[in-house]
Amino acid sequence: MFKHILLATDGSAASEHAAQIATDMARVHGARLTALYVVDPYPYLGIGESNPLGFQSYMTAAHEDAAQAHAKVAKLCSQGDAPVALQASISEDLTASEGIVQTAKNEGADLIIMGSHGRTGLARLMVGSVVAKVLATASVPVLVVR
């Protein structure tokens, strides 16, 4: 049924649980899996322009976090009887929701899987919901894992 699954991962416990579901589904469907880590836009634009070392440090840390998140998914993909074909991907210069939706479109994914932190009330309003934005803008099915 699914040929290409996009997993949005940030290395959190919620995305690790989603990674387990995504690898299991990819294994069952014989689908390939793309694990996407979105690097949020550099938050200190004014400082970064005057101090390029700040930007470099930020990007280095973001790529290290992405590598750790991808390594967790790769470990899941290698377990079991049938390994899952994994492509690790990083999206930069987009918000998390835009990066997820755009990558799904560009890569031809037919399912997006992502974890939900389950924030409610004021915390959800203050932080915003990446899941809600992806659900509102994605052109393919989205599986939200809690």
Mean per-residue pLDDT pooled into runs of 10, the chain (146 residues): 96 94 96 95 62 79 96 95 94 91 98 82 59 94 94
The ranges assigned to domains in the chain are 4-40+66-145
pTM listed for this prediction? 0.89
Rounded to 5 degrees, what angle do the CA atoms 145, 96, 108 make?
Answer: 75
Q: What is the pLDDT of residue 40?
A: 83
CB 105 within 8 A of CB 111: no
Q: What is the pLDDT of residue 121?
A: 56
Q: What is the pLDDT of residue 75?
A: 97
Q: Classify domain 4-40+66-145 at the CATH topology level.
A: Rossmann fold (3.40.50)
Tell me the residue type at 129: S
DSSP 41: P
